[in-house]
Chains A and B, each alone.
Chain A
């Protein structure tokens, strides 16, 4: 194990670790905080909450985002909800139960101590958001309402219609705005981080490109926080926003930060199916819909034929002709199995020829039972905006006909490796939210991404970063004329000049689409050794082709969306290779990572705890090679078991 891989997990019983750790770490006094600068990159739930909280504490914070406003970050698109263990419904929920559900949901590949802490602070998040004026759903008595999500048998998900991410982000963004108005935080919208600055091995600043003017700028700080989300857009078609990218994380990796579990991606079971070649992204239909929606395909092949030829409608297929395959295969959890299980089950039915649309890649999500029982108005109140969204895209009214859904790339569990303090292997460089790898193992449970982003930003990082900064109070601000800045800026200018000089024949999107096809075919829902090896070869060929033939029009010193895309695609063409290498190394199936060689007789994942109970931590080496280290996962408190959602 690399000596850099010290997870710094505190001693003691699970339930006392965070309390003891908080008492043991150092704090910075108010006067000294004023002397310390922190850079936060990204303004989603993690970045906005961290920047606001750190600003309130008195640090000088600079916050960067690529959009025109912090409010656009893709956390805004999260629909279903946020988990917390309030136990308001009195259904015997507890910190331990959420902890256990998360470890189990992640297929026993996450760190116990981190996950327990996440469950522990979950309740604080709800209180904070309510105080900020987040209009959570309430019952007639005026108290907060809950709904159920996959992988849990209790109702612990708080929500604001189908726009929970939007409302939580507006809460964090409002706090950020307040900090900006008080001068505690300075905001840099339409700025993209292009490199990390290291001085004596410590993170001391970043290089950004002003996306409006093209100016390359230098920013120094005593610590840098990466909150730029995941790299799911590697697949081109995903539920991520068009501008979401992995470049900031990748630059940190190339400067020496380890990358944890790059091959763990989440495929969300309920997205609107692909309709044609001109499509640019996939739209999610919230997991919360599986509270009231039932997933099925027809039992008979002749019904499939008629559906594909549009001779019948789904609603005309009688009850006995329907195969509610999730309820059939997983009686205990039914339609609320975790995402990876639901995704694979849909793929299994479609591969067997039961896909319900022309492409054969869709299953039904049906609300007719719920509408009969509860009435249309209840369904409308719960999911109205999702139904409207579906109808606008597909041109079918889901109150009358079932939705069609198919799995799509949604989230990356992998990310920058961090220790218990959320610090990467580079001192002074922190990673929070989806950008780190820490809490979700091989599969993330629904409504837990919002929880993790806000837990990291509001309640964990503001404490742990103080421990590092306490050692920096004597340190002067870094001069941006330092040779490290000069060197990095020169390198970026050369890279940009190189892209323009190619004057090739294809736009960056062309390569991105092809990369997406390679990734979906070989590094997607189902993987095998031969396919992964082929993916690595194909990616290398495609990368060479990109650097020979990409066409970037315009110039650097202007608003240039094609240049932005080219820089991001160049990084995706490298990240993708590491993802495939990691998936190739892990010869077991766990969570969203399904190796065809490792499955049970009934097609469930087969873990290999003997050989793979570790976090794969990749280190960037010279000549762009990658070396893997292992952080062993020691389960002290949970007994490893095969996941069972059947009984």
Chain B
């Protein structure tokens, strides 16, 4: 039994859409392409178990972070603050002592929900774009 509180802290750094309860538009006001919604759902299947970190020789949490960043970035509702989110979550992940990703793909192989490392590619893209704008 281990303490996975670090995952909560990473999500608290930015794994959300900044909306309060109430005062939001109708659910059908903004159409979302089915393919995007489906891909977002693929990423959102993450259950936060930590198998990706446990199996990674670098103790990287990239697949976990990528699943959240990618899921939200694919939807218009989450796109608005995608850059800020990617930067904040990656910074928190580094701060908490998780290692960096060296593309071994062990995380994808062990993920119980079959989350693809293509989401890590999307996270990298979001992160780079955000950094370039700085």
Residues of A bordering B, CB below 8 Å? 49, 52-53, 56, 68-71, 86, 88, 124, 126-133, 135-144, 160-161, 163, 166-167, 170, 173-175, 177-178, 180-181, 187, 189, 458-459, 462, 559
Contact = CB atoms under 8 A, between A and B. Distances in A.
Interface stretch (B21-29, B57-65, B93-101, B116-124): B21-29
Interface of B: 1, 3-5, 7-8, 11-13, 15-22, 24-28, 31-34, 37-38, 40-41, 44-45, 47-48, 71-72, 74-75, 77-78
A189 B41 contact: no
A136 B37 contact: yes
Contacts, number: 116
Contacts of B11: 173-174, 177
Contacts of A189: 5, 8
A64 to B, nearest CB: 14
A175 B21 contact: yes
Given A56-B20, A138-B31, A175-B16, 9 more contacts: A69-B4, A128-B22, A132-B17, A135-B40, A139-B34, A174-B11, A177-B8, A177-B11, A458-B21
Contacts of B1: 559
B41 A56 contact: no
A136 B22 CA distance: 19
B44 A167 contact: yes
Nearest to B35: A140
Contacts of B22: 124, 128, 458-459
A170 B4 contact: no
Contact of B25 (A49, A70, A127, A143): A127
A144 B34 CA distance: 9
Nearest to B46: A170
A135 B41 contact: yes
Contact of B12 (A68, A167, A180): A180
Given A133-B72, A559-B1, A142 B31 contact: yes
Contacts of B77: 130-133
Closest 9 CB pairs of A and B: A142-B31, A174-B16, A131-B24, A135-B40, A135-B41, A53-B21, A130-B27, A133-B78, A181-B12
Given A133-B75, A140-B34, A142-B33, A127 B21 contact: no
A185 to B, nearest CB: 10
Nearest to A454: B21
A181 B10 CA distance: 10
B7 A69 contact: yes
Contact of A178 (B18, B31, B37, B40): B18
B41 A161 contact: yes
A173 B48 CA distance: 12
A603 B3 CA distance: 52
A181 B37 CA distance: 27
Given A133-B77, A144-B28, A178 B16 contact: yes
5 contacts: A139-B34, A142-B33, A167-B41, A167-B44, A187-B8
A117 B41 CA distance: 31
Contacts of B3: 68
A49 B21 CA distance: 9
